[in-house]
Amino acid sequence: MAKKQAPTPPAAEGGEKTGGKGKLKLIILIVVILLLAVGGSVGATLFFLKGKSAEPEKTAEESSESVPAVKQPAIYETIAPAFIANYNYQGRQRYMQVSVALMARDQAELDALKVHMPLVRNRLVMLFSGQDFAALMTPVGKELLRSQATTVVQELAQKETGKTVVEQVLFTNIVLQ
């Protein structure tokens, strides 16, 4: 028959419980140390980053006082209808059609310039009709004409409104015949 197992002495049972408590204390101690290490590293990171970011904020405030405001977004005003100018080239009548848009930054100044739009159109027609066909056939010639148009419009705006108003004159379409 089967042998009966002898009851275990009470000292042996207590010894196992003591060993379990020791392991539990060790695990809790390791977890606490890890939490302190993580907390300390997060705290140190925040401390050093906060210290560095406070200084640039002061310099940003100081520089904003000396530097003018950031550029406003561009506003485009299309001049309609397109310009049609004629000119002579080697004894033949030639035509040019140019669609123009004005780029400005301040709507109020652009509205002030719109009052003088007939004068702007007149100056641009005179500029376009005085061009050389051979020069306009090259990209450099077209860019030169665009910069001349910008100069003409800016001078007119300066004279009439007291400000240059227009940053650039843009050609949205140009046809030479």
Query: Mind listing the pLDDT tens digit for each residue in 17-50?
Result: 556 788 898 999 998 898 888 888 888 888 888 7
**Are 82 and 164 within one domain?**
yes
Task: Report residue 105 CA to chain centroid gap.
Answer: 15
Domain membership flag for residue 99 = yes
Residue 37's pLDDT is 86
Higher per-residue confidence, 136 vs 155? 155
**Are 30 and 59 within one domain?**
yes
Q: How far apart are CA 59 and CA 162, in angstroms?
A: 35
Q: Which domain holds residue 37?
A: 12-70
**Are 41 and 89 within one domain?**
no
Indicate the number of domains in the chain.
2
Domain membership flag for residue 1 = no
Asked if residue 161 has pLDDT above 70, the reply is yes
3-state SS of 134-162 is: HHHCCHHHHHHHHHHHHHHHHHHHHHHHC
Domain membership flag for residue 2 = no
Q: Which residues pair with 85 in a beta bridge?
A: 96
Dihedral over Cα of 118, 122, 127, 128: its sign: positive
Count the neighbouring beta carbons within 10 Å of the beta carbon of residue 113: 22
pLDDT tier at 7 (50, 70, 90 boundaries)? low
Residue 4's pLDDT is 62
The answer, as to whether pTM is greater than 0.85, is no
Residue 154's pLDDT is 94
Domain membership flag for residue 3 = no
Assess contact for 156 and 115: CB atoms under 8 A. no
Asked if residue 82 has pLDDT above 50, the reply is yes
**Are 63 and 115 within one domain?**
no
